[in-house]
Amino acid sequence: MAALPLGFEWRVALRFLREGRMQSLLIVAGVAAGVAVITYIAALINGLQANTVAKTLGTQAHVSLRAPDDVLSPAGVPGAPAAGAAVLTDTQPRAQRLRSVANWQQLLPVLEQVAGVVAVSPMVSGSGLALRGEASQSVAVMGVELERYQRIVNLRQKIAAGQWSLAPGEAMIGTELAADLGVRVGDRFSLDTGSVTETLRVSALLDLGVKDLNRRTVLLPLRSGQSLLGVPGGATVLDLQVADVWEADAMARQLRSRYPYKVESWQDNNAQLLSALNAQSVSTAGIRAVVLVVVVLGIASVLVVSVVQKRREIGILRAMGSTRAQVMRVFLLQGAVVGALGSVLGVVLSWALIAAFTAFVRGPDGGPLFPIHLSWGDVVAATLMATLCGVLAAVVPARSAAALDPAQAIRM
Amino acid sequence: MDPRITASRAPTLLALQGVRKSYNLGRPNEVEVLHGIDLQMQAGEFVALVGPSGSGKSTLLNILGLLERMTAGRYQLQGQDVAALDDTGLTMLRRRCMGFVFQFHHLLPAFTALENVTLPALMAQGRVTAADMARATELLGAVGLADAVHRKPSELSGGMQQRVAIARALVHSPSLVLADEPTGNLDTQSSDDVFALLREIHARQGTAFLIVTHDLSLAQRCDRVVEVVDGVVAHDGPPDRGQRPAGEI
């Protein structure tokens, strides 16, 4: 039988821990509590942030690509201005008109091939007035290819009434708008974009989760939108969905550098939300760091006491021929074992807390407030971190144990 | 083989020359407890180290056992100059050559008798082989503890614990066993039994023993008595069976 690496150290470390059973149990419980807090908070915050981001992105694309803004160049003559000549540098910003993304039909398949892009959908969007009887509402008109747009925004889930259909002459509208206009599924209303007015039949009512969106949204087939908004054959926006939402910013930068279009990520459009999420992440990291420090101090204090209690045993081991390094490893292993055991228990505790949260904390619809999961990555990271902390916490006690004078220790 | 007959012809096990030991060196409270000890031991000798309390016996034992370093002088163990060794070298030499029996047994309470005896093997090899187990079991049988191998120290009497300590000191066949008051904490009967056991092992294995004791009758039953008084060797020779060595014991 091959020798177990550190066989002596393992045996002595485990026996020492078993000997001081209550002490060991208490510190393992302490580590478990620390790890549970760290992993539970991580899962909770990740779940909360994922839920917030999912809700935010539930009605918008990860990346949107538009035609560049119209810019006026200051008047002037080429070359250096002549002496005494007036130079007009102040220009009034130009009003932006609806413009199609140039060559969008060619661009669309190219964008679909970009690594990380999972869906691309053309849209023509502008504003208009929804009219019925005496009611008139300012609305956002969005012409889309329904199946493509479904891959950007999950509209099927948002249908409050009606059918999944967007045939020519049909429109899906927000529930609040329907209430304002006094229409139901199958009813008709007029849409006036300034230049064109068209009567549309309501095929479905949408609940987009935000009242203001429900009051303004009118979805049409792409071709209807193009004719209503005066952009024949055009698409004012190409919406992109990427595989990793947090890579949207990088994707936008990449596309900006590659194509002469105005490209914005969802992060560009939600700076305040991102800043709040970042603040949340930083404060969570702070809490986790404090808990880690408490765990390290807890393990260290117990091992320091253990070294004092076991001075005589350490002296005997040294007299019998164990090296200082062996004695040191005995205590480092104790720290590692306490850290590892505590982290395993902590993960189990964390799972229990998550299960309790999911079972007892309910949203207005009676379902879980938001889904939270403990990822294997978090579990492995917490276990490794707690074990490492155990070893680090044991360094000082281990060094003092190794430095003990065996003759003095035996006399104690 | 009778070690008492062959000891004088045996090779030198250890030799001390002018060994001094001071504590708090270089400080105002510096104190020298050994003032130039000369001592030689042959392999297989059975020696008693006696002397009054505070005479320096324990310090001398610690130096001999490589647990403390001397301040000055020369110490050769099996021909090796120990002053030249670093801490790891001393530890390895101690592991190989020495066995210790302490007054208060000093067994590891978390380990059974058998595990205590196999600890030196575990320490040296990282595992305990079947041969190590057999040797430890045999030794525990030899000290009369065949039925107690799986008992923890707390389940054994003082005499039994000391027997386990003796088995542990012998398990790796050391050249020298250093015993610090091995019977000092035992009743008379247990004390006699333990001493008889040491003599028996010595007779059978020829291991050298250096026994620190305050018990005059035990010292007289050793082959040689070294008496330390005030940090110097005051007497070194065969026991005077008729009278006690000089100084208070």
| ipTM for the complex shown | 0.82
- Higher pLDDT: A241 or B243? It is A241
Size of interface A-B (CB pairs under 8 A): 83
Say whether pLDDT at B3 is over 50.
Answer: no
Lowest mean pLDDT among A105-114, A397-406, B103-112, B142-151: B103-112
B contact test, residue of A313, A320, A329 with most B CBs within 10 A:
A320
- Higher pLDDT: A360 or A348? It is A348
Do residues A386 and A346 touch, judged by C-beta distance below 8 A?
A: yes
Lowest mean pLDDT among A328-337, B200-209, B233-242: B233-242
CATH of residue B56:
3.40.50.300
> Would you call B98 and A321 a contact, using CB atoms and an 8 Å cutoff?
yes
Partner residue facing A320 (CB), from B110, B120, B129: B120
The tens digit of pLDDT for each residue in A302-316 reads 888 888 888 888 888
Quick check: is B94 in a domain? yes
Give pLDDT, residue A92. Answer: 72
Number of domains in chain B: 1
Q: Which residues of B touch A (CB under 8 A)?
A: 58, 62, 65, 67-68, 87-88, 91-92, 94-96, 98, 100, 102, 106-111, 119-120, 122-127, 129, 168
Quick check: is B145 in a domain? yes
Hunting for tokens 């669309």 — which residue is that?
A: A108
Give pLDDT, residue B196. Answer: 86
Structure tokens at A86: 């007036």
The residue segments making up the domain with residue B157 are 3-10+44-66+87-237
Give pLDDT, residue A271. Answer: 85
Q: State the average pLDDT for chain B.
A: 87
Quick check: is B73 in a domain? no
The tens digit of pLDDT for each residue in A24-34 reads 999 899 999 98
Strand stretches in A185-328, DSSP E: 188-192, 197-206, 217-221, 237-242, 262-265
Quick check: is B81 in a domain? no
Lowest mean pLDDT among A43-52, A248-257, B12-21, B226-235: A43-52
Say whether pLDDT at A241 is over 80.
Answer: yes
> Would you call B168 and A3 a contact, using CB atoms and an 8 Å cutoff?
no
Say whether pLDDT at B187 is over 60.
Answer: yes
In terms of Cα–Cα distance, which of A169, A174, A180 is closest to A132? A180
The residue in chain B having the minimum alpha-carbon distance to the alpha carbon of residue A14 is B110
Quick check: is B121 in a domain? yes
The tens digit of pLDDT for each residue in A118-141 reads 999 999 999 999 999 888 999 999
Quick check: is B25 in a domain? no
In terms of Cα–Cα distance, which of A99, A180, A175, A95 is closest to A138? A180
- The full DSSP string for A345-387 is HHHHHHHHHHHHHHHH-B-TTSSBSS-----HHHHHHHHHHHH
The tens digit of pLDDT for each residue in B47-95 reads 999 999 889 998 999 999 999 999 999 999 998 999 999 999 999 999 9
Give pLDDT, residue B242. Answer: 53
**Measuring CA to CA, how many Å separate A92 from each of A71, A96, A175, B244?**
10, 12, 40, 120
How many angstroms away from the CA of B175 is the closest CA of chain A? 14
Q: How far apart are CA A98 and CA B81, in angstroms?
A: 97
The tens digit of pLDDT for each residue in A195-207 reads 889 999 999 999 9
**10 Å Cβ neighbour count for B190?**
17
> Would you call A316 and B102 a contact, using CB atoms and an 8 Å cutoff?
yes
Quick check: is B147 in a domain? yes
Quick check: is B157 in a domain? yes
pTM confidence score: 0.73
How many angstroms away from the CA of A295 is the closest CA of chain B? 27
Say whether pLDDT at A159 is over 90.
Answer: yes
pLDDT above 90 as % of chain B: 52
